[in-house]
Structure 1
Amino acid sequence: MSMLNDSSIEGESFSSSWKRTRSVVEASSQTKTNNNPTRDKSYQSIKKNSVEVQTEDLFDTYSNLPETVPSGLPEFLARVEPLVTKELRKNITSQAFNGYDVSWAAVHKAVSCVHTLQNVDFQKEQMECTGLSWNCVGSVIAAIYGRHDHEDWCTHKGAFCMWNIDRPHLNPGKPDFVMETPACMTSIAFHPTEPTLIAGGYFNGEVVVWNLGLDEDTQLAASDENSHREPVTQVQWIIDPKSRVIAKYHLVSVSSDGKMLRWQVPVRKQNLKLLDGFMLLGKNNVDVLKMKESEANREVGVTSVSFSPTDKSSFSLGSENGGIFLCSLNDTGTPITGSGIDSELMSLVTTP
């Protein structure tokens, strides 16, 4: 036991043949807060709402069939079914659209020219179309001819032509009806319900009504010495305000002489009967009417007239000086101007 003693031996060291000795250096740094400002901001979530929905029972809403069959329905179906079935079978075997190719991408214009109507014989005479009117059926269009370059009283011949556009062999260059008139025509209007009655006005102030159903002389009536003294600017058919049950039509004409005349059209050939008439006068409005002071109360030419479709006593007038007058007739038949240039309607004649 005495041979075992405590002892310490110094360790041996040797350097690595592949690992180099590392060197360590200590350093410190800091940021500058002057050039990098900071700020705080708070956020929160968006508020939301919840809504509950549910579908409806479509069968109960839209498919609620009646429990009982309506009276007369089986008889009606039994009566019309053979006719409907016959037409459907004809459509199946029809060759009407053979060779027709539908172009869904084609661009269609809103307005297209169907016919260009003209009277070739009038081209050499340099006559102008001064008015147009459709008949109440919509199959016939009437055109009147005259000239606007009058230096004095009219010495020309006018014309009245008609085309029936429903005819299968329509000739656009040749009217179906041509009538020569003693003067240039300035206005025309078919009757609202009678396709054979048509009214017109001349440059010389005369008003005429024709009945195209007559065999020989188609002129039914014409105005007398009470007519206009200047060109007739418009003729219009109006319902008699006193007519109660059956609509009775009168004829109204306006002219450059400032007059508005109402005529009764006879059943047989005779003159038109003047019922009443009015004249549009200026009232010292020199600037607007462009008149001298001494002529301030002279008549104002009327260019157009239009009656209300709902109120038989209301109408409007257009004048040569640009004024539009809203007028109405009272119980005595006297006109009352509502608005427009400072003018008035003066009664010329009133026939009971």
Structure 2
Amino acid sequence: MFVNRSLEAVSFNSQLSTTKSQQSANVQTTEIVYNQSPVQTVETRTVETQTVTEEKKKPEVNYERLAQFLNRVTPSILEVLDESYGTNAFEDYEPKTDDDSLTSTQFLQKINSVESDSQMKVNDISWSIGGGTLAVSYGIPYHETWCDHLSKIQLYNQTKEGIFTDNPNKTLETNACVTTLAYHPTEPSIIAVGLFNGDILVWNLRDDISVAPTTVCTHGDCVSQVYWKARTINDVSLLVSSSKDGYIFIHKMMANFTIARVYKRLKVIKEHNPIENSRPRSASGTRERAAECGLCITTFDFSSRDPIFFIVGTLCGGIYKCSLDRVAPIENDETLMDPVIDEYERHEGSITCIKYSPTRNLFVTAGTDKEIRIYDFEEHTNLQSISCENTIVGLTWIFGDQDILATYGAGSDIRLYNITNGKSVTNANFETNDRQNTSCLCVNLKKNMVAIGDTQGNIEIWKIPRQLL
């Protein structure tokens, strides 16, 4: 199929043209012309407005409805005015302050309230709700027999200069030593007092003419504490008192605090005391120990979370959780109830003071065993224990930080503790050279002040910083 063959070469000429066509062109932008046209408003208008004067008509007033309205709102207005009585919001305002003034205490004044040869000591102190009045009570340090001493309550008012008068503005006399007193938390003229002979008295200081007190009740032994319970809506004031006879009385105060009616009678029965369990019954064997007086109550405080619960401390070291709603009649008496619902770990000595935290669900106790204990309300054992050199007589919350607690007792020292960590607060102190044993201490929440009483009848006024830490 394939054969070898040779052919002749064939050639042809190239047809490529080397000449190129060229053309010249000029490009020029058109000249821009600017035109200016003035603009001016031609038409103007003027508008005038004038009000028409009308004759004022005399308003029609329904005086009967106005009187009904005033009768309805006046009690509430008076209550608010009473709460703010004596307050000066900017009295202690200092725009130019340094770091020292914010963290250090300041001694303001000392009042010698009793004669130099008197044996009276300051038993208790209470500030009025507005902080403008300081009530001071007195008593004999030791009683060999039943108390029949004539004692007194002195009221000191604050002046416009911010100091308190050296002489009392008013004196209330009692037929026995005053052991405890408390101003009403919302009524600035109402003060309750407990006496060594067991009497509970209430004064209404609004009436300057009559200074006769209302006798609320009489305990069978020395009154250990009086307490105004927080009032609920549409309810009357409740006055709670405890005594070394083992009873807690709750009274309703009515008719402008002139009438007292028993609301509840409570008693911690002796069967809750382990020491009393070993005691035999009466000689006849027919009388139960429950029929005797209850445990000697030294102190109590209500819960800040739920006001039906309260903690009771006794002379034998017992700490009891109690409830106002518990119905447990004693001795088949429907008017006498045992409020105890639970018990906490006991102190080795007598309970001297109990304070419930205003912000947390815990409380603090002090005892003659020289211990401060911190308890959770729901736990039986204490969370923390603080050992002290001397016996602590009283505990007080310092308002600048609600976790700071002031303690006082045997000796002149006043120590502050932070209950969150149990450590001592050292950057604020209340030290003086001539103070005797501290007997009481009370904080003025309105004016950042602290009043301190001692066993020689002296009163000290201190200024405390707004922030302790």
TM-score, structure 2 normalization: 0.45
Structure 1 letter corresponding to 2:252: Q
Q: Are residues 128 and 332 of structure 1, via their aligned partners in 2, closer, same or farther at CA, if it must alter by over 3 Å?
A: same
- Quick check: 1:328 aligned with 2:332? no
Flag structure 1 segments of 5+ consecutive residues without an equivalent. Answer: 1-96, 343-352
Using the TM superposition, name which of 251-260 and 108-117 deviates more.
Answer: 108-117
Number of the residue aligned with 2:229? 238
**1 CA distance for matches of 2:97 and 2:251?**
54
Deviations 1:166-190 (A, max 9, x none): 4438455322222221111111000
**2 CA distance for matches of 1:320 and 1:186?**
16
- Which residues of 2 match residues 1-16 of structure 1 at below 5 A? none
Which of 113, 117, 120 aligns to 2:111? It is 117
The 3-state SS of whatever aligns with 1:237 is: strand
Which of 157, 182, 196 aligns to 2:150? It is 157
Query: Computing the radius of gyration over CA atoms, which structure comes out larger, 1 or 2?
Result: 1
RMSD: 3.1
Q: Are residues 137 and 108 of structure 1, via their aligned partners in 2, closer, same or farther at CA, if it must alter by over 3 Å?
A: closer
Q: Are residues 256 and 103 of structure 1, via their aligned partners in 2, closer, same or farther at CA, if it must alter by over 3 Å?
A: closer
The 3-state SS of whatever aligns with 1:272 is: strand
Indicate conservation of the 8 Å contact 1:209/1:219, yes or no.
no
- Which residues of 2 match residues 240-259 of structure 1 at below 5 A? 243=232, 245-246=233-234, 248-259=236-247
Q: Are residues 137 and 285 of structure 1, via their aligned partners in 2, closer, same or farther at CA, if it must alter by over 3 Å?
A: closer
**1 CA distance for matches of 2:301 and 2:320?**
10
**1 CA distance for matches of 2:278 and 2:182?**
33
Q: Are residues 339 and 137 of structure 1, via their aligned partners in 2, closer, same or farther at CA, if it must alter by over 3 Å?
A: same
**1 CA distance for matches of 2:325 and 2:98?**
59
Indicate conservation of the 8 Å contact 2:271/2:277, yes or no.
no
Aligned residues: 236
Flag structure 2 segments of 5+ consecutive residues without an equivalent. Answer: 1-93, 283-288, 329-336, 347-469
The 3-state SS of whatever aligns with 2:305 is: coil
Q: Are residues 258 and 291 of structure 1, via their aligned partners in 2, closer, same or farther at CA, if it must alter by over 3 Å?
A: farther
After TM superposition, give the deviation of residue 248 of structure 1 in Å. 3.0
Of structures 1 and 2, the one with the larger relative CO (CA 8 A, separation 6+) is 2
Q: Are residues 285 and 199 of structure 1, via their aligned partners in 2, closer, same or farther at CA, if it must alter by over 3 Å?
A: closer
The 3-state SS of whatever aligns with 2:268 is: strand
After TM superposition, give the deviation of residue 230 of structure 1 in Å. 0.6
**2 CA distance for matches of 1:253 and 1:160?**
18
Which of 333, 337, 340 aligns to 2:341? It is 337
Q: Are residues 113 and 222 of structure 1, via their aligned partners in 2, closer, same or farther at CA, if it must alter by over 3 Å?
A: same
Q: Are residues 102 and 109 of structure 1, via their aligned partners in 2, closer, same or farther at CA, if it must alter by over 3 Å?
A: closer
Number of the residue aligned with 1:56? none
Q: Are residues 258 and 341 of structure 1, via their aligned partners in 2, closer, same or farther at CA, if it must alter by over 3 Å?
A: farther
The 3-state SS of whatever aligns with 1:151 is: coil
Number of the residue aligned with 1:318? 313
Which of 293, 296, 304 aligns to 1:309? It is 304
Indicate conservation of the 8 Å contact 2:180/2:194, yes or no.
yes
**2 CA distance for matches of 1:103 and 1:274?**
53
**1 CA distance for matches of 2:191 and 2:265?**
21
Indicate conservation of the 8 Å contact 1:315/1:327, yes or no.
yes
**2 CA distance for matches of 1:253 and 1:246?**
22
After TM superposition, give the deviation of residue 304 of structure 1 in Å. 1.1
- Which residues of 2 match residues 87-166 of structure 1 at below 5 A? 110-119=104-113, 121-166=114-159
Which of 251, 260, 279 aligns to 2:267? It is 279
The 3-state SS of whatever aligns with 2:109 is: coil
Indicate conservation of the 8 Å contact 1:116/1:172, yes or no.
no
Structure 1 letter corresponding to 2:263: L
Structure with greater strand percent:
2
**1 CA distance for matches of 2:326 and 2:222?**
31
**2 CA distance for matches of 1:112 and 1:154?**
38
Q: Are residues 166 and 315 of structure 1, via their aligned partners in 2, closer, same or farther at CA, if it must alter by over 3 Å?
A: farther
